[in-house]
Amino acid sequence: MKKNYLFLWGNTQIGKGILSFCLCLFLIGVTSCKEGFDDNEHFSGGVTGVTLESPDPSAVTFTKLAGTTNVKIEWPVVIGAGGYTVSFYIVDDPDNPVLVGEENEFVDGCSAIREYQDDTRYMALIKALGNVELNNKDAVAASELSWTTLLPATLIPDGTDLTTYFANFEDTGEEVAYELVANGNYTISGDVDFDLGVVTLRGDKINRPTVVLGKDGGIITQAGLQLKWINFDCTAATKIGFLSLSENPSSTISTASLGYKADGANQDGFVINDPVTIQECNFKNLNNSLLYGNKKNWSIRYFTIMDCIVQMNNSSSNSTIHLQGASNGLIKNLTITNNTFYNLVTNDAAYFIRYSNASNAQPQKIFGNSDKSAIFTIEYNTFSRVMSNKDFGNNLPNANTISTNISYNILYDVYRLYQAVQTNTVRTTIGNTIFSVSASPTGNDTSRTDSNGNPLATYEDPEFVGPFDVEFDLTKENGGVNFTPRGSVAVGNKAGDPRWYE
């Protein structure tokens, strides 16, 4: 839309004098835009009989209100206006804007408040309205303002090998973001090592770019990392971890350097305190681990997988979340929600999640006496053949400082869920269904209960609409698979990945 600017009435000496007089009135507090338009004469400034211009876009501000998810939009007064209309839209998909709040809301002042979401692009339309008493007409068009809650990013050209692009990556000490072109195509031929840099690597919410991993392709970090809105083709990759924690941990993030040992931690390990997140990404033919600890004593404070489809072709012994092979380590706040994980092959060698040592995965032993709690959350996921003949969890800690919430999941051809629900933790297991295909059903999955007497799961075939056992197609919506359940218990609980109910 055409951008509009503040209307200035002529360039005459009289006009300039009137403007100066009005500005003086504002400065000495005779009136205020924020008080509304109870007395239009105060706002006329001699501006009569004109078609107004909408507020100057360069003078409009967006301010997040502390402690809320609201943003305050403020604009300069338009002399002679009788008010404004304001509309606010989400424009992640510019062709399909989503209205936030009221459309063309009348505002008798110079500000409006709207709710906002993180990682979202917005557009505001502000239009000056005429004033009948002053014979002023509405502005022809609204001013169009763009605002975003996305971290400013460096755009990486289409066709880039990200291994080459990040070969000389250096940590600046500040969080940085990189953006891939919508519908772009990229490769990772070798290691992409972000070291201690806190990095966001994102694509486009609506038109995800595709990154193809070569034989030696993979991502490495030892700091916070956000991966968002990207399709990853892992068909050719042979490295154990798609995302690996560094095999050379920095002494600056050891349990001693961070002060945890001084607070009672008794383990020598390394801790990533900034969040590590995989959000709204799709994976084709993940042959090994999604997360790999490189057999080092790694712990992560926050690890989240959300709104992803992860298609595996994993017959190896490498677990999906693979922190095994060291002497200690855990994920303090694990959140896995609104995902579909499915494997094309039966696996009797790997676990879904595996730590190195259950005793040394107790949070107190890593984070100290002042920070000894942990939260283990797996909600609203669809699991198919993950893992079919091996325990769902292994070497997980068993302490009453840990809250375990595994709820509203569909587990099809998944074995021994109960091994992930440790008996001394505070347990919540509501609305899960489980069904066996490759292995015999395990009674403990349906007869054991949580801390409130709910069963770990109800035995039921989800009867997926299908197809659900085919390779993910990156050119099709949701990969061309369909895990919509028809089992009455699952459907009644709206269990599983929510996308299959849309």
Q: Got the DSSP string for 372-405?
A: --EEEEEES-EEESTTSSSBSEES----TTEEEE
Tokens of 226: 């956000």
Tokens of 262: 């001084």
Residue identified by tokens 């999640």 is 353
Mean pLDDT for the stretch of residues 233-262? 98
What percentage of the chain carries pLDDT values higher than 70?
A: 91
Q: What is the side-by-side strand order in the sheet with 433-435?
A: 185-188, 210-213, 231-233, 282-286, 309-312, 340-343, 382-384, 410-412, 433-435, 458-459
* Amino acid present at 387: M
Mean pLDDT for the stretch of residues 88-102? 97
- The confidence score (pLDDT) of residue 46 equals 83
Angle at the Cα of 31 from the Cα atoms of 26 and 33, rounded to 5 degrees: 85
Q: With the C-alpha atoms ordered 482, 486, 487, 489, is the resulting torsion angle positive or negative?
A: positive
Least confident among 35-39, 174-178, 251-255, 271-275: 35-39
- For residue 274, the SS3 value is coil
Tokens of 454: 């709910």
Cβ pair 67, 154 in contact under 8 A: no
> What values do phi and psi take at 193, rounded to 5?
-110, 110
Residue 21 — very low, low, confident or very high, per pLDDT cuts 50/70/90? very low
Residue identified by tokens 């892992």 is 234
Cβ pair 456, 432 in contact under 8 A: yes
> How do strand 84-90 and strand 105-107 relate by DSSP bridges?
antiparallel
Q: Got the DSSP string for 133-162?
A: TTTBBPPSS-EEEEEE-SPP-EEEPTT-BH
Mean pLDDT of all residues in the chain?
A: 92
Residue 254 has pLDDT above 50, yes or no: yes
Residues forming a β-bridge with 123:
89, 146
- The confidence score (pLDDT) of residue 479 equals 98
Mean pLDDT for the stretch of residues 271-292? 98
Residue 4 has pLDDT above 60, yes or no: no
- The confidence score (pLDDT) of residue 3 equals 36
List of E strands, 29-108: 61-64, 70-74, 84-90, 98-99, 105-107
Least confident among 23-32, 287-296, 371-380: 23-32
Tokens of 486: 């028809």
* DSSP one-letter code for 445: H
- Domain range summary for the chain, segments of one domain joined by +: 13-148, 240-501
Mean pLDDT for the stretch of residues 392-398? 98
Pick the CATH number of 13-148 from 3.40.50.920, 3.40.50.300, 3.30.420.40, 2.60.40.10: 2.60.40.10
Angle at the Cα of 305 from the Cα atoms of 165 and 385, rounded to 5 degrees: 110
pLDDT in tens, 317-329: 999 999 999 999 9
- The confidence score (pLDDT) of residue 44 equals 57
Residue 43 has pLDDT above 80, yes or no: no
Which among 270, 266, 276, 260 is positioned nearest to 298, based on CA atoms?
270
Which among 285, 131, 278, 276 is positioned nearest to 217, based on CA atoms?
285
List of E strands, 270-351: 270-272, 276-279, 282-286, 289-292, 298-306, 309-312, 321-322, 331-337, 340-343
Residue 446 has pLDDT above 50, yes or no: yes
Burial of 347 (0-12, 13-18, 19+ CB in 10 A): buried
- For residue 367, the SS3 value is helix
* DSSP one-letter code for 34: G
Q: Got the DSSP string for 58-74?
A: GG-EEEEPTTSSEEEEE
Cβ pair 340, 462 in contact under 8 A: no
Residue 36 has pLDDT above 50, yes or no: no
Residue 337 — very low, low, confident or very high, per pLDDT cuts 50/70/90? very high
pLDDT in tens, 355-366: 999 999 999 999
Which among 323, 311, 168 is positioned nearest to 241, based on CA atoms?
323
Mean pLDDT for the stretch of residues 452-474? 97
Mean pLDDT for the stretch of residues 290-315? 98
